Structure 1
Amino acid sequence: MFGNLDAGGAVHKYATIKQVAGEYTISELCKLFRVSRSGYYAYLKRQVTDRNKPVKDFIQAVYRKYDGKYGYRQTQLFLLQDCGVWVNHKKVLRLMQEMGLRSRIRRKYRSHYVSSVGRRVAENALQRDFKACAPNQKWVTDITQYRVADTWLYLSAIKDLFNNEIVAYHMGVRNDNELVLRTFEKAFEKTKDVTGLIVHSDQGFQYTSYAYHDMLPKVGAQISMSRRGNCYDNASMESFFSHLKTEGLYPYDIRSVDEAQRRIEEYIQFYNQSRPQRRLKKLTPVEFRRQLSA
């Protein structure tokens, strides 16, 4: 009848007890849910005198709108963007804890060793400096994979470090040079002049290929690469992929490659146009870029 009695935190349990209090005694319910009677009555008192209820309602609305994906810091930004309400991040954390609201935990990426024997490797020109003062100064790029049944879907993406915008991406079921080259074709179709641009990647075989090393210098771009097996040298790109999977893929029961592609396309559009970022002065990547030209 009550489902998982340990789910949702103390506040959720108190709310359930209040809902069925007419059918059972308070002592029986508190014992069943393993909470104290004093805690329950304190909860009822807060319900009457809770000055934070309007803010909690906003937090609850944001939490539900985004399927419980976000922690207190990103929730704070969505409160401002979606509700026009600015709340101190410490208060957002405290209220979310009171309401038993928790974000989904992102999976951590792992370091892998990659040999450079017989490969064209460039120096690390980026040196983990993931900031740029203008568009098209620094791009980071990488490939990630997502499994659908017995098929792997590969996503190649390019991110501009000026505003963290995904400037181009390409998907396919084959992880080959064409996947990367097509991604850069799309990027160069939108950005004609990339003279002086630094393009940073890991040492994957696509990025050490002759085709890749011939392509970028021709348009005036400089190639930069992470050290062998060091994912932190490209942490900005890894961070985007982590957000993509945790927020745009893992919450859903995806059964086909077409659906996975649709989810990825929708998330990239959401990430660029609707997801505010603290580093961008609480603006979305597109808003931040447009502010520059305003």
Structure 2
Amino acid sequence: MVTNLESGGLQDRHHVVDALKEKQNVKALCAYLGISRSGYYAYLKRTAEDADGELKRKILAIYEQRNKTVGYRRIQDELYRQYGLVVNHKKVLRLMQELGIQAIIRRKYVYRTSYEAAVSDGRIAENLLQRNFKADGPNQKWVTDVTQYRIFDDRIYLSAVKDLWNGEIVAYHLSKRNDNPLVLETFRQAFETHKDVTGLIVHSDQGSQYTSHAYHGMLPKVGAQISMSRRGNCYDNASIESFFSHLKVEALYPYDIRSIEEAQRRIEEYIRFYNEERAQRKLNKLTPVEYRRQLVA
């Protein structure tokens, strides 16, 4: 091996070390080939700089092609799409920083502006519930929220309404989109099956669905009052959060769920079980539905 390399240059020997370094000790390889370790590492640095130089040229080309609006994630994607290069996103970011370039960031107005508009229009309601999660009868206090469950790259969103009197889920709706129709359809179902809700307090967080014009137009029409948690305070709506936690721990997390359809089936089955079969101590060991029917009887 050494005989074959004696007439070769230093670079050839560096190539040999590079090829064998995963299986052999670098120090031993360098000694065997008669080269210094410092020289080998200097060779590696030069090689990386040469490779980085070419990569930087490609990054700049993509950056200019896209009118300087792309960040390191999209440049990473374009490097693969245009050149077939698989480059770690952290390296792309580092090289962009060395080049002194970054995406021209669009200013984020949407959330701040919509929230301020909701405040100015009076669509941020007072916290009428004040963490008092007890009710003396049905349709006095409802709590509501939206939760999500992820299956690979997909998500399913569950909007639910819970009556604090007996803990019953009075309505729910599932969707692949977390938007206004998800919440509005939930309440359409709730008011369809619960006609007399005059004076009802409906408590939610300050999410965009609950500060929408449509939501604030829907509830007062049936005589319901809107209540909201303080901003960023999940404990103000702890009762519905507790239900979501039980659902995920008992019906979703223990299973290897592979599709949105399977998740939807398990959620629907659990809500039926929760309402009709899951006895609660605070209801004298009755289920929510049994407790409601006892009142009627």
Tell me the TM-score normalised to structure 1 length. Answer: 0.60
Q: In the alignment, which residue of structure 2 is the partner of 1:180? A: 183
> Is there any run of 5+ residues in structure 2 with no aligned partner, and where?
1-110
**C-alpha displacement at 1:279, in angstroms?**
1.1
- Alignment of structure 1 residues 258-269 onto 2, 5 Å: 258-269=261-272
User: Aligned partners of 1:277 and 1:229: how far apart in 2?
Assistant: 30
- Alignment of structure 1 residues 54-203 onto 2, 5 Å: 116-119=115-118, 120-203=123-206
User: Aligned partners of 1:197 and 1:216: how far apart in 2?
Assistant: 9
Structure number with the higher helix fraction is 2
* Paired letter, 1:181: L
SS at match of 2:238: helix
* Paired letter, 2:249: T
**C-alpha displacement at 1:189, in angstroms?**
1.0
- Alignment of structure 1 residues 205-284 onto 2, 5 Å: 205-284=208-287
User: Aligned partners of 1:155 and 1:194: how far apart in 2?
Assistant: 23
Residue deviations 1:2-44 (CA, integer Å, cap 9, x gap): xxxxxxxxxxxxxxxxxxxxxxxxxxxxxxxxxxxxxxxxxxx
**C-alpha displacement at 1:155, in angstroms?**
0.3
Residue deviations 1:131-184 (CA, integer Å, cap 9, x gap): 111110110000000001111100000000010000000000000000000000
**C-alpha displacement at 1:234, in angstroms?**
0.3
User: Aligned partners of 1:163 and 1:181: how far apart in 2?
Assistant: 23
* Paired letter, 2:176: V
* Paired letter, 1:172: S
> Is there any run of 5+ residues in structure 1 with no aligned partner, and where?
1-113
**C-alpha displacement at 1:262, in angstroms?**
0.1
1:287 aligns with 2:286: no
Aligned length: 181
**C-alpha displacement at 1:211, in angstroms?**
0.5
* Paired letter, 1:117: E
User: Aligned partners of 1:142 and 1:134: how far apart in 2?
Assistant: 21
SS at match of 2:117: coil
Residue deviations 1:37-87 (CA, integer Å, cap 9, x gap): xxxxxxxxxxxxxxxxxxxxxxxxxxxxxxxxxxxxxxxxxxxxxxxxxxx
Residue deviations 1:238-269 (CA, integer Å, cap 9, x gap): 00000000001001110000000000000000
Tell me the TM-score normalised to structure 2 length. Answer: 0.60
Of the two, which has the highest radius of gyration?
2
SS at match of 1:142: strand
User: Aligned partners of 1:281 and 1:121: how far apart in 2?
Assistant: 37
SS at match of 2:138: coil
* Paired letter, 1:219: V
User: Aligned partners of 2:148 and 2:117: how far apart in 1?
Assistant: 25
**C-alpha displacement at 1:117, in angstroms?**
2.4
Larger RCO (CA under 8 A, 6+ residues apart): 1
* Paired letter, 1:275: R
